[in-house]
Every structure is written in C-alpha cells, then in structure tokens.
Chains A and B, each alone.
Chain A
Amino acid sequence: AQTVTQSQPEMSVQEAETVTLSCTYDTSESNYYLFWYKQPPSRQMILVIRQEAYKQQNATENRFSVNFQKAAKSFSLKISDSQLGDTAMYFCAFMLDSGGGADGLTFGKGTHLIIQP
C-alpha cells in the first residue's frame, strides 16, 4: 500500500514571500503520478500541479514548482511570490499508473497555508 506524509500541519508566510511545502511518500512501484491539490475555504479540490514519475524534469506552473526527488521519495511544492488567494489547505497526492486506468488517489493529511498581508 502507498502512503503519503505531509509533516507540516500549518505554515504561515507574508505576502510576496516564497514558501515550500514538504511531502514524502512510500511505494514499491516505479510508475506513478504525484499531485498537489489546493482546497480553499470553498472546499473544492483544485489541481495545482502534476508530476509523472518517469520524468526527471521538475514540473512548473507559473508561480508553482516542484522539487521531485524520486530516490528520496520526496515531492515538495514551492510557491513563489505568494498571494493572499493562495491561502488554503494543500494536499499532496499519489496515484499509481496501472496502465488500464487510474486507481485512485492516496492523499496526505494536508498543510494549512496562511498568507499574511
């Protein structure tokens, strides 16, 4: 079974600062996907960024980037120039690539990120 660990229950930074959220996972598989989802107070789950395990290059989406260390099973999220709208719960998630269809996500417990004005 796969596990995802987020060791930071809550983080708080000033607006415009850079913040890094940590995530580690455990699996014996080699083909999988990793995700960061954002859950604002509206509670909808919004995909922030995705990384395919077979890709060595770190994914980037505008102000969001990841540091994917496959050997260390680490997948941290960096948010640059943080904005008030970034305040939310952030969940790291793991999904096996079964080849025949997605098998569902395994989520960490989340990090509550607060951006202070």
Chain B
Amino acid sequence: NAGVMQNPRHLVRRRGQEARLRCSPMKGHSHVYWYRQLPEEGLKFMVYLQKENIIDESGMPKERFSAEFPKEGPSILRIQQVVRGDSAAYFCASSPQDSSVTGELFFGEGSRLTVL
C-alpha cells in the first residue's frame, strides 16, 4: 500500500517561471493538505482540499499560488512567476474521509523547490 507520493522531489526554477508540484494521496484518502516548510521553521498550513473542492485556503498567498484536486489524478500546487522567497520544501499530506476520528495526517516526503 503506497504512501503519499509527491513529485518531483527536487525542482529548480528561475525567477518568473512556473512551478508545479504533484501529490497523489494514499489509496482511499479523499482529503489532501499542502504545507510549506521554510529553513529552520516548522510546517505552515497552506490549503486543504477534497476532490474537486477547496475547503480551506486560508494559508495560501493571495497571488501566484493555486491548488487543485481534480476528480481524477493527483492534487497539484501551482506557483506562478516564482520568486526567491518561494524556495522551500512543500509537503503534501492526506487523510481518510473519517479523519476526525483519528486526527492523523499521512505525509509525503516533500518537494524541495529552489528558485535561482
């Protein structure tokens, strides 16, 4: 049973380019979360999605960032016109539909974005 799969593991972009990070949740999980980790910091919540719905995007920057979780395929975190401050590790986590019972999220290994 594969865990949460994120790709790419490492991504290098120049300022102004677009970055797309993908996340396939664990089998049977319908909830996806994206977190950002800056150096020497804990993870910061960005967005919470269910299939075809954004439930909570209170942690997402208002501009350049977007996320989706389509009916088919992985969740995608998209960063347009990247800047150096976007350099970070981006983690995806998933939970089953009844996550309120366990309260547990399952994390992927993260995607490290470096903006030159």
- Are B107's CB and A108's CB within 8 A? no
CA distance A1 to B113 in the complex (A): 28
Q: How far is the CB of A113 from chain B (nearest CB, A)?
A: 14
- Are A106's CB and B45's CB within 8 A? yes
Q: Which residues of B contact A107 (CB under 8 A)?
A: 35, 42-44
B103 close to chain A: CB less than 8 A: yes
- Are B42's CB and A103's CB within 8 A? no
Q: Give the number of A-B contacts (CB < 8 Å).
A: 74
* Band of interface residues on A: 20 to 34
Q: How far is the CB of B9 from chain A (nearest CB, A)?
A: 9
- Are A102's CB and B100's CB within 8 A? yes
Given contact pairs A44-B109, A102-B31, A103-B56, A95 touches B41 in the complex (Cβ within 8 A): no
B69 close to chain A: CB less than 8 A: no
A15 close to chain B: CB less than 8 A: no
Q: How far is the CB of B48 from chain A (nearest CB, A)?
A: 5
